Amino acid sequence: MDYIDGIFTDFTKLSGDRLTGEDGSITAGLGKINGKTVIVVGHNKGKDTNERVQYNFGMSVPQGYRKSQRIMRLANKFKFPVITFIDTPGAHAGLKAEDDGQSSAIARSIELMFELKVPVIAILIGEGGSGGALALAIGNEVAMLENSTYSVISPEACSAILWKNPSGTKLAARALKLTSKDLSRLGIIDRIINEPRGGAQNDPKRMIAIVERYIQETLRKLDQYSDEELKLKRAEKFENIGVFTR
């Protein structure tokens, strides 16, 4: 919410998936930047213990992903650019979330983002964990704050699965290549957004100003493309990620 409040004016929050309920761990709505209306969708972890419990530590359930889909369809209909802020350890893995269709909600979010004919900017501002992050990260441009992370699994979980104990966490972290520098070198992300000295938490206002400038620059750059070009370039970007050998 600090980024939303600091960057966008006239922000109007939209709630509910119009099917079963509301998920507070994903905040979504409409706002303006430089007078231009955009759709904003982002994970919300909360700032203190009470808020973190309320928002399930940023671990979203299907209702949150379906809400984001509903609002992104509005963006596509009215030609509003989409800005996403990603900060989650991963989607909630509880039994009820699975029963409610967690995997299909994530898959449909990914599918929908590939179909959007508007500019899409995805920014990782903290943790980017597994499919819970990827569901909001299919962008024409994907950026990471300098000290953020992005990986298919957390180092702790990876170590627990492979070695049945946490002693291999550091080894797993190195193997996962989860830092912004690693992911930039591998072509997974497009931009590293430098943080103030000591990290974003040391100067939040400056960090917000840096991110705002990045969004404005990127929107101007993406404005040159047609609807179909935006969709095609987004697909090409992700199709070119990775290497296949036989």
pLDDT of residue 33: 95
The runs of H, that is alpha helices, within 79-223 are 95-99, 102-115, 130-134, 155-163, 169-176, 180-185, 204-222
* CA nearest to 137, candidates 24, 241, 216: 241
DSSP 82: E
pLDDT of residue 6: 94
**8 A C-beta contact, residue 143 and residue 122:** yes
Q: Side chain identity at 128, as an amino acid letter?
A: G
pLDDT of residue 244: 66
- pTM score above 0.75: yes
DSSP 152: S
Helix (H, G, I), strand (E, B) or coil at 122: strand
Q: Side chain identity at 207, as an amino acid letter?
A: M
* CA nearest to 26, candidates 112, 88, 103: 88
pLDDT of residue 112: 96
How does pLDDT run along the chain (246 residues), one tens digit per residue? 999 999 999 999 999 888 888 888 899 999 999 999 999 999 998 888 888 888 888 888 889 999 999 999 999 999 999 999 999 988 888 888 888 888 999 999 999 999 999 999 999 999 998 888 999 999 999 999 999 999 998 888 888 888 888 788 889 989 999 999 999 999 899 999 999 998 999 999 999 999 999 999 999 999 999 999 999 999 999 988 876 667
pLDDT of residue 143: 96
d(CA 171, CA 162): 11
Name residues whose C-beta falls within 8 Å of residue 69's C-beta, 6 or more positions apart in sequence: 17, 105, 108, 109, 112
Q: Which residue has the tokens 């990876």?
A: 158
